[in-house]
């Protein structure tokens, strides 16, 4: 491989990128726009759940129970109901996810030591929010029920009941339990995968459409030199995009960064190399820029968004889909990013993921080189 020829191709691509100002601005602004849009709009936090209350007892005991929900940051009482029919209307219009109904004999049963029932009605049209809300509401009710039991026993016996078990919770890596700390590092991987694949998926196809590929065929340029030369210019753009995405994640979204910058840089370079080679491979397969663009979107955005563990847990997917996810490079890069950002771990823990990415880069580079070589031949 001749480095002079590779440098000449890289210089040509650099000049093309600089002259195409609109594409360059789009390539640099798109990551910023995407991470700001997804970072603010995409949230898995379920709090301030709209709650309606129907207190048919109206006693100090019922008000004490309802005060537990009002004091929780997970619930927001939007309306006090006077009639059960209002509950249906409110939930039909989507103004309440949870309705709490306290029976008329709640306090009487409670004071006589009998089981007092409270009805919790959830809107299950959004199953994810409803299931989380069920867990929150159940924990509030159970904690209050245990407190009432202790009060009753203490009152009957005259002795203070010691707590048999005192739980002390420690949340590691994401102590505030904010979904943005989980989402933003994954967003960096998704954005780089999309940008990298789209940037290079048009290169070879553009040469064929513009009629300049014939000039390249007349040179002694080898396929590996062509791939590396074309990729090097976009590699620099990809690194700038990565710096922009990481900076926004740390400075604007306050995502903790506990790992090594050097390991992050190494991992990003490996991932970018593979993603850019994949784009060149697609560009060599399709001589049309439109077809190459469509193939780039389908093979980068959808797998990176759906099959990488970015949003949906891979462990909850069917076995067949879990097997397919092993060929998605974003899966390994997202694991690397979350480990570097949140846990501060390095190659000793994340070495397997890095090895998989390196293997992916090698396979895709060989495939792109052979495909471009076949086109040249």
Q: What is the 3-state secondary structure (H, E, C) of the chain?
A: CCHHHHHHHHHHHHHHHHHCHHHHHHHHHHHHHHHHHHHHHCCCCCCCEEEEEEECCCCHHHHHHHHHHHHCCCEEEEEECCCHHHHHHHHHCCCCCEEEEECCCHHHHHHCCCCCCEEEEECCCCHHHHHHHHHHHHHHHHHHHHHHHHHHHHHHHCCCCCCCCCCCCCCCCCCCCCCHHHHHHHHHHHHHHHHHHHHHCCHHHHHHHHCCHHHHHCCCCCHHHHHHHHHHHHHHHHHHHHHHHHHHHHHCCCCCCCCCHHHHHHHHHHHHHHHHHHHHHHHHHCCCHHHHHHHHHHHHHHHHHHCCCCCCCHHHCCHHHHHHHCCCHHHHHHHHHHHHHHHCCCHHHHHHHHHHHHHHHHHHHHHHHHHHHHHHC
Query: Topology of domain 49-157, per CATH?
Result: abc type-2 transporter like fold (3.40.1710)
Distances (CA, A) of 225 to 219, 275, 279: 12, 17, 16
Q: Which residue ranges of the chain lie beneath pLDDT 70?
A: 1, 154-164, 202, 204-205, 207-220, 287, 373-377
Instruction: Tell me the whole-structure pTM to 2 decimals.
Output: 0.80
Q: Which two tokens stand for residue 107?
A: 């306090």
pLDDT score of 214: 60
Domain ranges of the chain: 3-43+178-376, 49-157
pLDDT score of 161: 61
pLDDT score of 360: 92
pLDDT score of 27: 76
């Amino acid at each position: 491989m001749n480095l002079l020829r590779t440098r000449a191709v890289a210089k040509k691509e650099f000049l093309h990128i600089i002259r195409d100002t609109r594409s360059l601005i789009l390539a640099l602004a798109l990551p910023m726009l995407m991470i700001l849009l997804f970072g603010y709009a995409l949230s898995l936090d379920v709090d301030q759940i709209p709650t309606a209350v129907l207190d048919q007892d109206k006693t100090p005991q019922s008000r004490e129970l309802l005060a537990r929900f009002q004091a929780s940051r997970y619930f927001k009482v939007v309306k006090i109901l006077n009639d059960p029919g209002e509950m249906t209307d409110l939930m039909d219009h989507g103004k309440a996810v949870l309705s709490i109904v306290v029976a008329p004999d709640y306090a009487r049963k409670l004071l006589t030591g009998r089981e007092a029932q409270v009805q919790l009605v959830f809107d299950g049209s959004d199953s994810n929010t409803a299931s989380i809300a069920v867990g929150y509401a159940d924990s509030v009710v159970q904690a209050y029920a245990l407190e009432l039991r202790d009060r009753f026993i203490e009152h009957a016996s005259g002795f203070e009941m010691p707590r048999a078990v005192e739980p002390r919770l420690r949340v590691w890596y994401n102590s505030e339990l904010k979904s943005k700390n989980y989402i933003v590092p994954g967003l960096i991987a998704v954005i780089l995968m999309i940008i990298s694949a789209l940037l290079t998926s048009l290169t070879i196809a553009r040469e064929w459409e513009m009629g300049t590929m014939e000039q390249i065929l007349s040179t002694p340029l080898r396929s590996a030199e062509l791939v590396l030369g074309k990729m090097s210019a976009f590699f620099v753009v990809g690194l700038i995009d990565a710096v922009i995405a990481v900076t926004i994640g740390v400075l604007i979204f306050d995502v903790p960064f506990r790992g090594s910058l050097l390991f992050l840089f190494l991992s990003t370079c490996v991932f970018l190399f593979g993603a850019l080679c994949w784009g060149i491979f697609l560009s060599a397969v399709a001589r049309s820029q439109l077809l190459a663009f469509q193939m780039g979107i389908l093979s980068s955005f959808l797998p990176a968004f759906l099959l990488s563990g970015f949003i949906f847990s891979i462990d909850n997917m069917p076995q067949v889909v879990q097997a397919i996810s092993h060929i998605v490079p974003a899966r390994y890069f997202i694991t690397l990013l979350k480990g570097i950002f949140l846990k501060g771990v390095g190659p000793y823990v994340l070495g397997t993921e890095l090895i998989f990415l390196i293997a992916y880069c090698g396979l895709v580079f060989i495939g792109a080189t052979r495909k471009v070589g076949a086109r040249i031949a």
